[in-house]
Amino acid sequence: MKIVQLMITAMMLLIAITGCRKSPEASITANKTTAAVNETITVTSTSKNANTYSWIIFDGNSTSGVSSSSHVVKVSGGDACDNTYSFKIDQAGNYTLRFVAYYYKGGCSAINSSGYSDGTTLAITIQ
């Protein structure tokens, strides 16, 4: 009888611990993946269990993000608390958007706390 009670207690503890943890599942949709130079592209997070976001755009020849360079012009969003990012790219070429969805217990204002993350990428062609 005590073994059964111990097993039930252990299972309830396991359920309680894993039920508190929210692991995000990163996913995004874009209104287009091929665009003309300076045409607005909007990408929206459709992630599950996420409350904080990271958006970085790489060009085809670089491993460092170019989102702060002159080639990528932010239209709106794209900050840690924004689940949508609209931008324009002013030079033709192939780009990759690296998106990471995070879950922080305290929300996007608790970025320095421990959290969970998942990422995905999106290929973008500017003609």
Lowest mean pLDDT across 10-14, 50-54, 121-125: 10-14
- Kindly state whether residue 2 falls inside one of the protein's structural domains: no
- Kindly state whether residue 5 falls inside one of the protein's structural domains: no
- Kindly state whether residue 79 falls inside one of the protein's structural domains: yes
- Across the range 94-108, mean pLDDT stands at 87
Give the per-residue pLDDT at 107. 78
- Kindly state whether residue 7 falls inside one of the protein's structural domains: no
Q: How far apart are CA 101 and CA 23, in angstroms?
A: 10
- Kindly state whether residue 15 falls inside one of the protein's structural domains: no
Q: Are strands 115-126 and 34-35 parallel, antiparallel or unpaired?
A: parallel
Looking at the 3D structure of the chain, how many domains does it have? 1
CA 67 from chain center: how many Å? 15
Both tokens of 107, joined, read 């929300």
- Kindly state whether residue 9 falls inside one of the protein's structural domains: no
Which range of residues forms the domain containing residue 74?
Answer: 23-126
- Kindly state whether residue 10 falls inside one of the protein's structural domains: no
pLDDT tens track for 85-97: 999 999 999 999 9
What's the CATH number where 84 sits? 2.60.40.10
Is the per-residue pLDDT at 18 higher than 80? no
- Kindly state whether residue 14 falls inside one of the protein's structural domains: no
Both tokens of 120, joined, read 């995905």
